[in-house]
Chains A and B, each alone.
Chain A
Amino acid sequence: MKILKLIFKNALRHKLRAFLTIVGIAIAVMAFGLLQTVVTAWNAGVEAAAADRLITRQAVSFIFPLPYAYKDQISKLPEVKNVTFFNWFGGVYIDKNQFFARMACDPETLFDVYPEFVVTPAEREAFLKERNSCVIGADLAKMYKLKVGDIMELEGDIYPGQWQFVVRAIYQPRDKTVDATGMYFHWQYLDERIRQVSPERAGNIGWFAVQIKDARQSAAVSERIDALFQNSRAETKTETERAFQQGFVASSGAIITSLNVMSFVIIGIIMLVLGNTMIMSARERTREYAVLKTLGFTGGHLSAFVAGESLIISFLGAGLGLAIVYPVVAMFSILVPKGWFPVFNLAPSTVILAASSAILVGVLASIIPLRRALKTRIVDGLRFIG
């Protein structure tokens, strides 16, 4: 017989109680994993933003446009390496509920400023040459089974009408944090059509993305850009892409924070559940622990018994929880509309966090019962009637 075997047998002595505790921990670990995955996925979106990119938008709101002419003015600043720009197109592709970014872009500069969108030179060339062509992300291509040469037909809302684009390039994300569900087409094409129906809207740019030479200069360069257009018809607000993304989802930020807090509250709850189970078991075994002490087992042994039992339960629970969190996260990522999160999978850090929380919970939950077991004098323990 090994001491470990006794610990194991003790842990599973009350089958139903052990089972319920283990399942409780498993569900909590699963919930923790899922919540943390949402948090990580959101943060990944922010992290993915390059530090050397600034976003220049209209000062009042990002829904008001900026004049195309700003591009040249910004480009002339010595700290600026490249400037590109976008217009939010919106619209509907096949299914109104499927969300992904559809934008007008500047095909000349897009890939310079966004090197994380990887295309072959041939594809880049093809995309450049054809004015009604578009480039789409590999994930989007997979989702709609699109290949080069296919036509995408969009129904416009911000820009009304039927819009047809030919897929000429499919970009690969440089790494897992890059969103590969975007669709980008020629701004020129959009502008020409708009000029015909509502000329007052022509020459409008949604926002500029400015690549700077030195990321450490971002604050200073931002100020310089905004200074260029001070007191003009359209003043600008420039900030790093990261800050822009955070602001863009400012309200979600609060939700994300509460999800984060909740996930740790859940860990706290498992600790109480396990602690309760451990206190009950240890109390019932008051006499047994006294007998073990009588036989010569020391405080060290008792600690191993109590903490070991607690750890076994928390490990079984955590193991089960982690086993179910993978399929749950996978299922969740199917249900969540693509594009909400550029990446949605269980990060190794989440698994490590869940596992180490389980260890911590196992240890903490055994403190009270262990202190009692150690403090009880043998003679009192032997007289104990459960």
Chain B
Amino acid sequence: MPTAISVENVYKSYMRDKLEVPVLNNVSLTIQEGEFIALMGPSGSGKTTLLNIIAGIDRPTRGRVLVQGTDIATLSEATLAKWRSRHVGFIFQFYNLIPVLTAYENVELPLMLTPLNKAQRKDQVERALAMVGLADRMKHYPKQLSGGQEQRVAIARAIASDPDILVADEPTGDLDKRSADDIMTLLERLNQELGKTIVMVTHDPAAAERAGTVRHLEKGDLLPEEKMR
């Protein structure tokens, strides 16, 4: 299988009170197309930071990140923004839906940046919402939905523009076990049926179990690979 994402010697540090705090120590990681990888590790180990760098919303201090051959660390902000909207779908722990927009409008939001016309957008939005099983909740506002439903709307938003890569930061972190299971089943389907490459950060071993690969971070170091399945 071809390589989707290649993280090469990524070092990342933040400045805190003029002190350089290392967060990622020369992390290297290769993710194949269609792979479903879970990143685990203690709080503060740098999982979110690594995920953000892969997704192009943060930049490494040193090192390269090749996503489908593009070194995203070298792109300008504007190009990177465009690149993200085409290639990456985002799923957050706290859903991050826009409260004044309905489920339909939230899913439509990323499509506003595409050249699709209204009818085409409608088509995509309905398909995405049907995919997550919320075809009957299109007119609902986020506050009229349960946490699990909100996260499914967020997933619909992430897949609406049909990106190849999905990144999820603790997608089940705020959900009860049943809803979490539903979300994981959904992600599994997106991976298996639609062939999406998924990078997921999680604390939940049950969630990690659904991924094909699990990698551990510890104080900014990526631990050697262990095959799960």
Residues of A within 8 A of B (CB): 1, 3, 6, 9-10, 13, 287-288, 291-298, 377-379, 382
Measured CB to CB, the nearest residue on chain A to B85 is: A296
Q: Among A3, A10, A298, which residue has its beta carbon within 8 angstroms of that of B100?
A: A10
Q: Among A13, A297, A382, which residue has its beta carbon within 8 angstroms of that of B113?
A: A297
How far is it, in angstroms, between the C-alpha of A378 and the C-alpha of B59 when the chains are bound? 11
Q: Which 7 residue pairs are nearest across A and B when measured between Cβ atoms? A: A296-B85, A9-B100, A378-B57, A291-B96, A1-B105, A295-B110, A296-B81
- Say how far B199's CB is from chain A's closest CB, in angstroms: 15
- Say how far B222's CB is from chain A's closest CB, in angstroms: 19
From 143 to 165 in chain B, residues with beta carbon under 8 angstroms from any chain A beta carbon are 157
How far is it, in angstroms, between the C-alpha of A291 and the C-alpha of B158 when the chains are bound? 12
When A294-B90, A296-B81 are in contact, do A288 and B98 touch as well, CB less than 8 Å? yes
How far is it, in angstroms, between the C-alpha of A294 and the C-alpha of B110 when the chains are bound? 10
Main secondary structure of the interface of B (DSSP, over half): helix
Q: Are A13 and B81 in contact (CB under 8 A)?
A: no
B170 at interface by CB-CB < 8 Å: no
Chain B residues whose C-beta falls within 8 Å of the C-beta of A379 in the assembled complex? 49, 52, 57-58
Chain B residues whose C-beta falls within 8 Å of the C-beta of A3 in the assembled complex? 112
How many residue pairs link A and B with beta carbons under 8 A? The number is 59
- Say how far B105's CB is from chain A's closest CB, in angstroms: 5
List 15 A-B residue pairs with CB atoms under 8 Å apart, sorted by A's residue number. A6-B100, A288-B98, A293-B57, A293-B81, A294-B84, A295-B90, A295-B113, A295-B157, A296-B81, A296-B85, A297-B81, A297-B113, A379-B49, A379-B52, A379-B58
How far is it, in angstroms, between the C-alpha of A230 and the C-alpha of B84 when the chains are bound? 89
Q: Which of A10, A296, A298, A379 has the most CB of B within 10 A?
A: A296
Q: Among A9, A294, A296, A297, which residue has its beta carbon within 8 angstroms of that of B101?
A: A9
How far is it, in angstroms, between the C-alpha of A72 and the C-alpha of B217 when the chains are bound? 109
B19 at interface by CB-CB < 8 Å: no
Measured CB to CB, the nearest residue on chain A to B125 is: A1
Known: A291-B90, A297-B81. 17 other contacts (CB 8 A): A1-B105, A1-B108, A1-B112, A3-B112, A9-B100, A13-B99, A13-B100, A293-B57, A294-B55, A296-B84, A296-B85, A296-B86, A298-B81, A378-B52, A378-B57, A379-B49, A382-B96
Q: Are A298 and B96 in contact (CB under 8 A)?
A: no
- Say how far B25's CB is from chain A's closest CB, in angstroms: 19
From 74 to 94 in chain B, residues with beta carbon under 8 angstroms from any chain A beta carbon are 78, 81-82, 84-86, 90, 92
Measured CB to CB, the nearest residue on chain A to B82 is: A296
Number of chain B residues whose Cβ lies closer than 8 Å to a Cβ of chain A: 26
Q: Which of B99, B108, B109 has the most CB of A within 10 A?
A: B109
Q: Among B58, B84, B96, which residue has its beta carbon within 8 angstroms of that of A288?
A: B96
- Say how far A145's CB is from chain B's closest CB, in angstroms: 59
Measured CB to CB, the nearest residue on chain B to A296 is: B85
- Say how far A312's CB is from chain B's closest CB, in angstroms: 13
- Say how far B76's CB is from chain A's closest CB, in angstroms: 11
How far is it, in angstroms, between the C-alpha of A6 and the C-alpha of B85 when the chains are bound? 19
Q: Among B82, B98, B113, which residue has its beta carbon within 8 angstroms of that of A6?
A: B98
How far is it, in angstroms, between the C-alpha of A291 and the C-alpha of B89 when the chains are bound? 12
Chain B residues whose C-beta falls within 8 Å of the C-beta of A10 in the assembled complex? 100
How far is it, in angstroms, between the C-alpha of A298 and the C-alpha of B57 when the chains are bound? 13
Q: Which of A1, A6, A288, A379 has the most CB of B within 10 A?
A: A1
Chain A residues whose C-beta falls within 8 Å of the C-beta of B52 in the assembled complex? 378-379
Measured CB to CB, the nearest residue on chain A to B14 is: A379
- Say how far A269's CB is from chain B's closest CB, in angstroms: 29
Chain B residues whose C-beta falls within 8 Å of the C-beta of A1 in the assembled complex? 101, 104-105, 108-109, 112
How far is it, in angstroms, between the C-alpha of A9 and the C-alpha of B157 when the chains are bound? 19
Measured CB to CB, the nearest residue on chain B to A300 is: B78
Chain A residues whose C-beta falls within 8 Å of the C-beta of B105 in the assembled complex? 1, 6
Chain A residues whose C-beta falls within 8 Å of the C-beta of B98 in the assembled complex? 6, 288, 291
Q: Are B84 and A295 in contact (CB under 8 A)?
A: yes
Q: Are A378 and B58 in contact (CB under 8 A)?
A: yes
Chain A residues whose C-beta falls within 8 Å of the C-beta of B49 in the assembled complex? 379
How far is it, in angstroms, between the C-alpha of A180 and the C-alpha of B41 when the chains are bound? 88
How far is it, in angstroms, between the C-alpha of A190 and the C-alpha of B83 when the chains are bound? 92
Q: Among B57, B82, B86, B99, which residue has its beta carbon within 8 angstroms of that of A294?
A: B57
- Say how far A298's CB is from chain B's closest CB, in angstroms: 6
Chain B residues whose C-beta falls within 8 Å of the C-beta of A298 in the assembled complex? 78, 81
How far is it, in angstroms, between the C-alpha of A371 and the C-alpha of B86 when the chains are bound? 27
How far is it, in angstroms, between the C-alpha of A287 and the C-alpha of B58 when the chains are bound? 15
How far is it, in angstroms, between the C-alpha of A287 and the C-alpha of B92 when the chains are bound? 12
When A378-B57, A379-B58 are in contact, do A295 and B100 touch as well, CB less than 8 Å? no
Q: Which of A9, A292, A378 has the most CB of B within 10 A?
A: A378
- Say how far B196's CB is from chain A's closest CB, in angstroms: 17
Measured CB to CB, the nearest residue on chain A to B81 is: A296
Q: Are A6 and B101 in contact (CB under 8 A)?
A: yes
Q: Are A296 and B113 in contact (CB under 8 A)?
A: yes
Q: Are A295 and B85 in contact (CB under 8 A)?
A: yes
From 89 to 140 in chain B, residues with beta carbon under 8 angstroms from any chain A beta carbon are 90, 92, 96, 98-101, 104-105, 108-110, 112-113
